[in-house]
Chain A
């Protein structure tokens, strides 16, 4: 047994189906590329990355032509130690389940679900959870399925452990002539980067039923919007784009106009007061989930039927609200593209994303993008600042539910922010906070413009424009900065308060500064937390998330409330 130890190999396959990959190993790149085909990247801290082999990841691999033996042999080839027997067995078992069920189009009004053998067909016929989804039994192995139940059936089958090979195809949708410009309207030369093109092609899969639905995972700043546009150019059909807010909708619109051949009147906005339905329509999640009362129907769900959409794009898919999942289940005949920087959902519904939007089609660790220079190198620094005695006392006697806010609003943070602003000279800086009073106070004290949820859209657009042009050096923003704020020149983000250690928020906030920078391509991400408080405890979660994304995380601990940050020459800053 011991003789099978191959220390030169980069993988350790563990009994819990996780796979550790040694980054410094000479075979790392080869092993990573092989592994990425059938395993999900769980975390990628500096030295050893963790992947997980799951039934979903195996089915995903099988869908693109892998099989159990190739997976097992890849694991064995790169593993330092003999492959645990049960891991190989479960890979074979999962792979054997793929293709057991196929869903095809029978005619215009029905689909045909075919089981590979009679026992499986019998099992399905006796499953209570499937009774309402299977219309009738057409033969020993065949079931009739209503097209409207396609998504729910696939989801239910996945819950039972049987992935469905969906070969029922997609509706072509209303044709839309669309191409990417070689020279943007702004005058810049434009071409999608290699990884953007590759991601779009993987999604499209040559127009076959093997592609057409899935999620592209790219870091903020890596150009997910461009991937979306590239997919639209491949599908060439009317498209519904769902985004998180009005600002994001405007940015999509601006990008489409700038980089595609779409004329202005072909793009409509469906949000707030504007309700335009055009060949490319951009709607917000908020408007879609609007209803007059808790028990009423969703007012705008009919948007999905108001045009023959050939493609639906879900921007920031990790924020997809539950009602949109429900409607998505009935949209399985349309091509669906999810775009996100992280598949981590705070509500843990990653499997619904997989089942209803589609499997992950493309994912590159942030650090890889950073190495290739597509996004800026980020330095994460947590500054721990003690509270003064008065505030400590207030904190000590406060109820537990108030402690986090007291710690977050430590006024001493203002002094640190001033020092950081001085230190970073004239680069664009974002100061991000969670509490409106706090960010207002900072804006007032620092004499900086502020953007909150209450700021009008016009004012926001003006501020963003000024910020892009460099007329405003720093912006103070509330939670609105978490989503789809396109600030291309932000090089420093200073987080003065956050949402109880939300990993999703951390990913988004970091994403604000990751766009490539001229010169050293270096961005700084600071979190200021009150020392020895629950805020510091919550910050640990965010720290773990960033470390697992591969960022070196530095901690500067100040001993006294009035203490200054160490000089920049000090290695920690």
Chain B
């Protein structure tokens, strides 16, 4: 224990004076100057100046300047430390508690408690109760003493842990009175589940135990049985059990999330669009990967093309989905879904190649493509599922919520029931929604999932592991809901998101989301957007007067991107249209998409030019055939007679056989006529 291993009697000496000061005077004493050595204006104490001077809390050091007296400096130091962590006045997140722990305890001290074997979790109610139930506090504390405390100066080395010395060199409970006083304090704190003013602690103890109050308090602080803090609103010193427990006991009733105001929502299924872009490159055979390197690393030129073509996201999404992660996940999903294969093992040139399954998916209408993705992620894991395989978990190693493997808790019904509740016409703040539903729609609150099916959260607190308990199920469920939102619903366009005036993320279910949760019978992807705010110009430029991600997604397959967000985002070029035609897009599709999004009619010359470009595309049929060079006209006639009408004369001596190979029987017949075949390529077998 770092700072709190101090003389708490000083604190209790000055607390009665502190109690009489006004909030402003307390603030002035504690916070007006960064150091006790620095004087502050006497005026800041107001009417309390005389009381402060009379009590000896502060002293005059010059005209109108005061500073803490030497006797009150230790008190001020403790109060300043308490002020740093308002443990009971803000939501005690894991991070917040971890900061507190790091500040006031050594790593060994906190590890011994937080990772104690076969003991209740340190942040659960069972923890102080276990202390209260312990018959011998000295035996109880042996579980949590550091090696240094156990063995004095002998410190453990790597690979060797000294045998614990019995009795340990150090104890925080030097006598029975201290244990009794500590249990008395903890018991009352557990019972009330609220904070207790530090000033009232002496009154909580019987008269005989008051002399050991400071020792008992230190022991309680050392073993995470009690936590001290200043209330920021009053600067009153208080203690309580674990802040998580106090928060749960004292927070107000849950309130449904209020409607938010957010006028610009977007629901791009950008994950699907990213996958399409990568798959298109893979289908064209141009998706080169570096051979070196453990991960899939795309060729720089390929990556640059993707960077150019990926759908631009609004600012509030860009920070969460950077280009590198989008590309990585798009590639991973394509592989997981067997839409592409990596030729790393099979070919010297490493490529991502589209599989027949991937090509088929690519040719489907957009809504069907999205349907397949939406439901791929809700299926059970197949037989022989390898937990290390990213497939189907789609990179969400921590909670495989959307798939069900033996032994995993199936979150799917719960997720569906929660997100269905977002199907209202108004937008709500994401944090408010998550807080509310983690609390009121939490399936794990009571009863807690029985032990065999408890999901374990890996790496929640840095490198530690934490078991699911009553005290943290809300946080756990909230994390799953939030992860589901960012990893599935947003990338697949199931929610329309935006930010309100304060920059808070807001959302509502999109038509795709409603379809996913069974609220819409049909999947409507690519909404008609009357408010599109884009114009197709006669000079073939497409100008976005306002961001419109849905339009961007619709136009990107056939228009050349030349900007992001707003302004001239696309240009219709012949090269791009021909490339679209190669992918099976029709002139009517292009004109339809333009007409749907443009707030002005598509200019006639643009429409006509697009039709012309499409009309200029032809499909050429390739087939294999053999050329037979007969050498002279007579031989050519003999060969034609033998081979029949299928054999076509290209000239008097040159014949074409419309197949890749010649039947052995025909070869034999030719040989019988003295006509022997010889391949120019030197591979006679090809014939």
Q: Using a CB–CB distance below 8 Å, which chain A residues touch chain B?
A: 1-3, 5, 7, 12, 14, 18, 20, 22, 43, 45-48, 50, 80-81, 382, 384, 531-532, 536, 540, 543-544, 547-548, 551-555, 557, 572
Contact = CB atoms under 8 A, between A and B. Distances in A.
A536 B545 CA distance: 32
Interface residues of B, number: 30
Contacts of A12: 543, 545, 566-567
Contact of A555 (B503, B535, B574, B605): B605
Given A3-B501, A384-B612, A543 B537 contact: no
B264 A5 contact: yes
Given A20-B567, A20-B568, A547 B543 contact: no
B221 interface: no
B603 interface: yes
B538 A547 contact: yes
Contacts of A22: 545
Contact of B608 (A81, A552, A555): A555
Contacts of A543: 605, 609
B612 A557 contact: yes
B499 A2 contact: yes
B397 interface: no
A46 B604 contact: no
B534 to A, nearest CB: 10
A532 B315 CA distance: 44
Contact of B541 (A5, A45, A384, A531): A45
A554 B608 CA distance: 8
Given A3-B501, A22-B545, A572-B604, A555 B539 contact: no
B537 A20 contact: no
A548 B539 contact: yes
A46 B538 contact: yes
Interface string B534-570: 0101111101011000000000000000010011100
A383 to B, nearest CB: 11
Contact of A80 (B499, B535, B537, B545): B545
Given A3-B501, A7-B546, A544-B540, A48 B605 contact: no
Contacts of A553: 538, 603-605
Nearest to A47: B535
A557 B608 CA distance: 8
A1 B315 contact: yes
A18 B569 CA distance: 13
B566 A544 contact: no
B538 A552 contact: yes
Contacts of A50: 568
Contacts of B103: none
A50 B541 CA distance: 11
Given A2-B264, A20-B567, A554 B605 contact: yes
A543 B498 CA distance: 40
Contacts of B600: 46-47
A373 B16 CA distance: 91
A100 B507 CA distance: 53
Interface string B602-645: 01110011011000100000000000000000000000000000
Nearest to A559: B615
Contact of A552 (B566, B574, B603, B612): B603
Contacts of B604: 552-555, 572
A270 to B, nearest CB: 41
30 contacts: A1-B315, A7-B546, A12-B543, A12-B567, A18-B568, A20-B568, A43-B539, A45-B537, A45-B541, A46-B538, A46-B600, A47-B537, A48-B537, A48-B545, A80-B545, A532-B616, A540-B609, A547-B603, A551-B538, A552-B538, A552-B603, A552-B604, A552-B605, A553-B603, A553-B604, A554-B608, A555-B605, A555-B609, A557-B611, A572-B604
Q: In this complex, which of A80, A548, A552, A555 has the most chain B Cβ atoms within 10 angstroms of its Cβ?
A: A555
B574 to A, nearest CB: 8
Contacts of A572: 604
User: What 9 pairs between A and B have smallest CB-CB spacing?
Assistant: A547-B538, A555-B608, A553-B605, A547-B539, A45-B537, A14-B567, A47-B535, A48-B543, A45-B539
Nearest to B538: A547
Nearest to A50: B568
A557 B614 CA distance: 14
Given A12-B543, A555-B604, A555-B609, 17 more contacts: A2-B264, A3-B501, A5-B264, A7-B533, A12-B567, A18-B567, A43-B539, A46-B537, A47-B537, A48-B537, A80-B545, A540-B609, A543-B609, A547-B538, A547-B603, A555-B608, A572-B604
B261 to A, nearest CB: 10
A524 to B, nearest CB: 15
B434 to A, nearest CB: 22
Contacts of B616: 532
B543 A20 contact: yes
Interface in B154-195: none
Nearest to A382: B605
Contacts of B608: 554-555, 557
Contacts of A45: 537-539, 541
Nearest to B600: A47
A543 B499 CA distance: 42
A45 B538 CA distance: 6
A7 B537 CA distance: 19
A532 B611 CA distance: 12
A86 B539 CA distance: 28
Contacts of A532: 616
A466 B537 CA distance: 41
Contacts of B540: 544, 547
A544 B572 CA distance: 12
Nearest to A555: B608
Contacts of B563: 14
A557 B546 CA distance: 35
Interface string B482-505: 000000000000000011010100
Contacts of A540: 574, 609
A555 B540 CA distance: 14
B537 A547 contact: yes
Contacts of A48: 535, 537, 543, 545
Nearest to B537: A45
Given A12-B567, A20-B567, A532-B616, A544 B315 contact: no
Contacts of A557: 608, 611-612
B537 to A, nearest CB: 4
Nearest to A381: B605
Nearest to A553: B605
Contacts of A43: 539
A81 B611 CA distance: 35
A80 B546 CA distance: 9
A328 B574 CA distance: 43
A544 B538 CA distance: 8
Nearest to B605: A553
A46 B603 contact: yes
Given A48-B535, A554-B605, A81 B566 contact: yes
A555 B603 CA distance: 10
A29 B609 CA distance: 32
A554 B264 CA distance: 36
Interface in B462-514: 498-499, 501, 503
A544 B574 CA distance: 13
A548 B609 CA distance: 16
Nearest to B609: A555
B315 to A, nearest CB: 7
Nearest to A531: B612
B266 to A, nearest CB: 12
Contacts of B533: 7
A555 B605 CA distance: 6
Q: In this complex, which of A547, A548, A557 has the most chain B Cβ atoms within 10 angstroms of its Cβ?
A: A547
A182 B141 CA distance: 113
Contacts of B503: 1
Nearest to A554: B604
B88 to A, nearest CB: 35
A205 B567 CA distance: 37
